[in-house]
Amino acid sequence: MLYRETGQFRTSYAADQAIFPLRQDRIGIAAIALAAALAVPLLADDFFLNTIMIPFLIFALAAIGLNLLTGYAGQLSLGTGAFMGVGAYACYKLTTFFPEVNVLLLILLSGFFSAGIGFVFGLPSLRIKGFYLAVATLAAQFFLDWCFNRIGWLYNYNASGAIEVPTREAFGIVLTGPTATPLARYMAVLALVALMAWLASNLVRGRIGRSWMMVRDMDIAAELMGIRLLRTKLLAFAVSSFYCGVAGAMMVFLWLGAAEASSFGINVSFQVLFMVIIGGLGSLIGSFMGAAFIWILPIVIRFVPAMLGLDVGAATVEHVSFMLVGGLIIFILIAEPHGFARLWQVAKQKMRTWPFPY
Amino acid sequence: MGEILYLILVDPFVQMAELPDFFLQVLWEGFVSGILYALIALGFVLIFKASGVFNFAQGIMVVFAALSLVGLWEAGVPAFLALALCVLVMLGLALGVERLVLRPLVNQPDIILFMATIGLTYFLIGLGEFIFGGEPKTMITSELLLPTGSHAWEVMGGVVIFQEIDIAAAVIAGVLMTALGLFFQNTRIGRALRAVADDHQAALSVGISLNQIWAIVWFAAGIVALATGIMWGARSDVSFALQIVALKALPVLVLGGLTSVPGAIVGGLIIGVGEKIGEIYWGSMIGGGIEGWLAYFIALAFLLVRPQGLFGERIIERV
Amino acid sequence: MRLRQALLGAAALAVAAGAPAAPVLAELYVPLLTYRTGAYAGSGIPIADGMHDYLAMLNARDGGIGGVRIAIEECETGYDAQKGVECYESTKGKGALVYNPYSTGITLQLIPKASVDRIPVLSMAYGLSAAAVGETFPWIFNPPDTYWDGASAIIKYIAEQEGGLDALEGKKIGYIYLDAGYGREPIPLLEQLAQKYGYELVQYPVPGNQMQNQSSQWLNVRRDRPDYMVMWGWGAMNPTAVKEAAKIRFPMEKFIGVWWAGGDDDARPAGEGAKGYKTLNFHGVGADYGAIQDILEHVVKKGQSKVASSDKVGENLYNRGVMNSVFIAEAIRTAQELTGKKEVDAVDVRRGFENLNITEERLEEIGLEGFMKPLQITCEDHSGHNPVYVQQWNGQRWEPVSEWFEPMSDVVRPLLEQAAKDYVQANQPWPERAEPCE
């Protein structure tokens, strides 16, 4: 009853191709958009924006990037952290060279650098597959890490080896640097993530997305059917890295404010991979859900002892948090290997037949 | 340009020839770390072969085993009793993993199982720190009657220094690998394991219990982890940073082939020696510290020629 | 999507429920960013214990500072910059008086935030060296010495061993360091001094993921045969380096670490081989100080400390943590005196730091006579180029082997000022100092 498509007729091709063909979906997405763009800014305090919403959205974007590669094109990558780093360092250099340019534009531009690097490290995928490829992408992770440390030009020969975000504006509002308000940064992140998520959802429905899925399901068969593997796989690497690069640039410029090479370590790669798997491979909405779960869960765990009035040491909470996160990941994989996206589908199905399941 | 070519192509070999004793030392150091990489990779291979699980938790199992050993000893248990108890701990871990993680996830795609082992890694990190605390511990080398001295061997106008613990590591690793090899070659369980590795369903149909085999390989991997933990702990110390070193086993693994025990050993030695020579004779040209990624590039170079690794099973693709 | 909202809701609830623990009046809220987990826990734990125990002792013995209790809250960072920022964000709303990031990476992220949020950052002998220039960084304090002071002090000490600065000519000095911001910071100074005094500097970077696998670096050391080795290590890197040095039979008395490479647990695992290893220090070790005895009596014996055993109290890094808390407590006390109110806020504490003057008499009063050299922070100089000494590991504990001596402040100060200028240049528009000097 709640989620019934009966009676909604699509009378034109345009209607048939809409991203959200169902009225309920449109209402839902509008509600979420309103909540994200109006309710959150009005109600949330700085802590909520800074610690939960901004990183959640940024990681969701990175998860979408990895999902395009792993979930849609079937290429497992463990180098996400490094590709995010490429975006961040590229953006840093761009802001150094073009201090006057709108910083949002620079953040988007830095994605192209990341895409280029992703393209190069995607080349082995033509020959190597599966876990062999995953280990090969670790080469990218460690090599780029080393570059961020060793190539002084990347961080302007800063003695501390870190990149520090300068104060930059877009549309007359200070968006980056210490004086930028969390609200302004949140709105910028929200706008960029919404834009790129929309692009991704169109991409995966179209010709390119379909060819990726063919490659994922069986690349030899796809090749026999006329998909050019070289192009398709490398495009997946490039697009995925573009998303990760933009996410990385946002991470440093709109969230952290400064970063060292270690901010883009292998742990970030695993974190994003978790988001993708827990959210659901090959699902954009799943990327959001996975990012929310993996990012917010440890924060919530930190607050639980204080809520219950327990005096537990910070280190103990951290240990328990590790155990809980690890245990929950295993539990979710057992309970629903296809991730939250699958749960969401099941829920939709339930809502459709509710209250008379047959 | 010529100078650069000289630096890359000629100078390193001149250096090797000039200080032959030093070159020998480099080879020996590479050999020892190669053995340790091979041991970690061996744990991966055992599990991958029998269950198709890419066990990311092998690294943390090394740390966990070593921590339990030192933790028990610090709690007052005699060294060898602690060692025996540790074996029991690894057995418990193997049974637990088989029952709680592998069995419910049977028949899931590889990537799901891989993620589950990363979840296991997080769990074991938390558990290990919760029980034993985060401070690094000193391996109880002499209590386990392992030698700690060193010998200088005068050769070719210089000296090569051998640590007794490194020699012991090489010997123990050799014994362990031989024992495992014999075990899998000549015992009933070993044959069952190879049957499972060849074909799960066929093995099931002749009455081999998959669950039992999985528990056994995880236990074997746990024993290998314990040995690795003792050796590496004696070289530096026992702390959670060791887990990062264990990532080095990944290039070893793909280089040797995911399913091959000899591959793990040969791969370990190639990576161990290769990265040492690379770092020492070529690394300083570009600022040093290249060991972090050199191993991956060596592995990548091999993979481009043989995508299934040196000894891996040939990948045959059909539509 | 609903799930996401539910999760967000749950998080919001958690946050809201966590909030009431916030500003309870008549408390001095001091968050401690510590790390007892991860690869750097070996160095992080004794420091966290020392910081916590001294403040807890003040609470137990004196009822806080100036009669106001200190609310101590540890937040676990795992030496991870993301988690550090999260800790910062989650505690700053509770009226935090000062931050001690204990990580160069986290410090760098807090530096620009400090002047905006108006909370001082105490990065005691770590972090950005240039932060010593108070004119540019009014909110950052890094007493008693910067890394550049440390590097110059080591060179000075080596020169003294060799018989004067002229004797450095033609010597080879190796520098092994953690390949991160922390380890790279001293390089410009070491290079500049190399030019000036004619020694050769050879660098051996240790990547963060290779901390426990240093045999290549030490093989290179063996080949290059430097006359001295200088180390900037942290966490698991230190004990491994000491072991490897012993393994290649490097003369340990020519191996000198910075103050952060001097944990007891850094030297102890190498056993006999570590004998002779030296590090810089700027405070006393051991438990023979009144204040530390008080910690044992009021905190450790009552089971309110997290130290594994009471003989850990008085170890080098434990005392480092104590010294850090002495700075905090003294700054708060100074702020109380300056403002005349008991419940000071972060802005007052900044003033307290800037007017910090720990004299011999004061050290005696707080039971730390001879623990450290008297120290004064001024408006211009937030660090102070204070004297240091060299200590040596005798197989059991650290022993001083040199007198207290000054770093080369004449070389360091111009570099600091230049670095501060560069920082401002790179971070335009950097706020002008708005706080008056007193």
**CB-CB neighbors (< 8 A) of A292 in chain C:** 3-4, 7-8
The angle formed by the CA atoms of residues B265, B269 and B271, to the nearest 5 degrees, is: 115
**CB-CB neighbors (< 8 A) of C214 in chain B:** 236
Q: What is the pLDDT of residue B17?
A: 79
Using pLDDT thresholds of 50, 70 and 90, give the confidence band for residue C155: very high
Best of A138, A266, A321 to disrupt the B interface (most B CBs within 10 Å) is A138
Which residues make Cβ contacts (< 8 Å) with residue B276, sequence separation at least 6? B26, B27, B29, B30, B33, C215, C216, C219
- Residue in A161, A307, A318 closest to C17 by CB: A307
Q: What is the pLDDT of residue A96?
A: 87
pLDDT of A358 > 70? The answer is: no
Q: Is the preceding peptide bond at C144 cis, omega within 30 degrees of 0?
A: yes
For residue C20, give the chain A residue with the closest CA. Answer: A307
Q: Compare A355 and C12 and report the one with higher pLDDT.
A: A355
Q: Compare A82 and B290 and report the one with higher pLDDT.
A: A82
- Residue in C212, C223, C269 closest to B242 by CB: C212
Best of B14, B124, B141, B239 to disrupt the C interface (most C CBs within 10 Å) is B239
Using pLDDT thresholds of 50, 70 and 90, give the confidence band for residue C2: very low
- Tens of pLDDT along A9-36? 888 888 777 777 778 888 888 888 888 8
Mean pLDDT of A171-178: 82
pLDDT of A289 > 60? The answer is: yes
Which residues make Cβ contacts (< 8 Å) with residue C27, sequence separation at least 6? C68, C69, C70, C71, C343
**CB-CB neighbors (< 8 A) of A156 in chain C:** 426
Give A 313-332 residues with CB within 8 A of chain B: 315-316, 318-330
Q: Compare C103 and A82 and report the one with higher pLDDT.
A: A82
CB atoms B288 and C247 under 8 Å: no
The angle formed by the CA atoms of residues A130, A136 and A142, to the nearest 5 degrees, is: 140
Q: How many CB pairs under 8 A join A and C?
A: 174
Interchain contact A312–B (C-beta under 8 A): no
Interchain contact B229–C (C-beta under 8 A): no
**CB-CB neighbors (< 8 A) of B279 in chain C:** 216, 220
Token duo for residue C2: 């609903």
Strand ranges, E, within chain A:
163-164, 168-170, 173-176, 258-259
Using pLDDT thresholds of 50, 70 and 90, give the confidence band for residue A261: confident
Q: DSSP characters for B173-241?
A: HHHHHHHHHHHHHHSHHHHHHHHHHH-HHHHHHTT--HHHHHHHHHHHHHHHHHHHHHHHHHHS-BSTT
Q: What is the pLDDT of residue B91?
A: 94
CB atoms C11 and A299 under 8 Å: yes
Using pLDDT thresholds of 50, 70 and 90, give the confidence band for residue A83: very high
Distance CA(C369)–CA(C362), nearest Å, equals: 9
pLDDT of A68 > 90? The answer is: yes
Q: What is the pLDDT of residue B191?
A: 87
Q: What is the pLDDT of residue A72?
A: 93
pTM of the full structure: 0.89
Q: What is the pLDDT of residue C314?
A: 86
- Tens of pLDDT along C256-285? 999 999 888 888 888 788 889 999 999 988
**CB-CB neighbors (< 8 A) of C22 in chain A:** none
Mean pLDDT of A48-61: 91
Give A 235-274 residues with CB within 8 A of chain B: 266, 270, 273-274
Distance CA(B94)–CA(B100), nearest Å, equals: 10
Using pLDDT thresholds of 50, 70 and 90, give the confidence band for residue C6: very low
Distance CA(B22)–CA(B156), nearest Å, equals: 10
Q: What is the pLDDT of residue C25?
A: 52
Please tell me the distance in Å from B280's CA to the nearest CA on chain C.
6
Token duo for residue A338: 């296809």
Distance CA(B28)–CA(C219), nearest Å, equals: 11
For residue B32, give the chain C residue with the closest CA. Answer: C215
pLDDT of C146 > 80? The answer is: yes
Strand ranges, E, within B66-157:
150-155
pLDDT of A66 > 90? The answer is: yes
Question: Percentage of chain C surpassing pLDDT 70?
Answer: 94
Best of C206, C212, C266 to disrupt the B interface (most B CBs within 10 Å) is C212
Mean pLDDT of C105-128: 87
Please tell me the distance in Å from B60's CA to the nearest CA on chain A.
13
Lowest mean pLDDT across A316-330, B129-143, C194-208: B129-143
pLDDT of C163 > 50? The answer is: yes
Cα Rg of chain A, angstroms: 21
pLDDT of A140 > 60? The answer is: yes
For residue A145, give the chain C residue with the closest CA. Answer: C207
CB atoms A124 and B304 under 8 Å: yes
- Tens of pLDDT along A217-256? 988 899 999 999 989 999 999 999 999 999 999 999 998 8
Q: What is the pLDDT of residue C12?
A: 46
Distance CA(C349)–CA(C118), nearest Å, equals: 10
Q: Is the preceding peptide bond at A355 cis, omega within 30 degrees of 0?
A: yes
**CB-CB neighbors (< 8 A) of B148 in chain C:** 271
pLDDT of A291 > 90? The answer is: yes
Mean pLDDT of A180-209: 92
Using pLDDT thresholds of 50, 70 and 90, give the confidence band for residue C9: very low
Using pLDDT thresholds of 50, 70 and 90, give the confidence band for residue A57: very high
Question: Percentage of chain A surpassing pLDDT 90?
Answer: 37
Q: What is the pLDDT of residue B18?
A: 80
Helix or strand run (H / E) with residue B41: helix B20-51
Give C 381-420 residues with CB within 8 A of chain A: 419
Q: Which segments of chain B have a pLDDT < 70? A: 319
pLDDT of C13 > 60? The answer is: no
Q: What is the pLDDT of residue A1?
A: 66
pLDDT of A208 > 60? The answer is: yes
CB C174 within 8 A of CB C202: yes
Beta pairing, strands C27-34 & C69-76: parallel
Distance CA(A10)–CA(C282), nearest Å, equals: 78
CB atoms near residue B92 (< 10 Å): 12
Distance CA(A166)–CA(A249), nearest Å, equals: 13
Which whole-number Å values give the CA distances from B232 to A281, B57, B58, B63, B173, in the listed order? 37, 17, 14, 9, 12
CB atoms near residue A153 (< 10 Å): 8
Lowest mean pLDDT across A153-157, A307-311, B196-200: A307-311
CB atoms A288 and C85 under 8 Å: no
CB atoms A162 and C1 under 8 Å: no
Give B 267-296 residues with CB within 8 A of chain C: 275-276, 279-280, 283-284, 287-289, 291-292
CB atoms B280 and C269 under 8 Å: no
Which residues make Cβ contacts (< 8 Å) with residue C236, sequence separation at least 6? B136, B236, B237, B239, B241, B242, C39, C40, C42, C211, C212
pLDDT of C426 > 60? The answer is: yes
Best of A143, A316, A330, A342 to disrupt the B interface (most B CBs within 10 Å) is A330
Give B 8-67 residues with CB within 8 A of chain C: 19, 22, 25-26, 29, 32-33
- Tens of pLDDT along B189-232? 888 888 887 787 888 899 888 888 889 889 999 999 999 888 88
Using pLDDT thresholds of 50, 70 and 90, give the confidence band for residue A190: very high
Q: What is the pLDDT of residue C182?
A: 85
**CB-CB neighbors (< 8 A) of A142 in chain B:** 292-293, 296
pLDDT of C92 > 70? The answer is: yes
Mean pLDDT of C335-342: 88
CB atoms near residue A206 (< 10 Å): 11
CB atoms A50 and C89 under 8 Å: yes
Q: What is the pLDDT of residue C18?
A: 42
CB atoms C42 and B232 under 8 Å: no
Q: What is the mean pLDDT of chain C?
A: 85
Distance CA(B160)–CA(B20), nearest Å, equals: 10
Interchain contact A292–C (C-beta under 8 A): yes
Strand partners, B154: B159
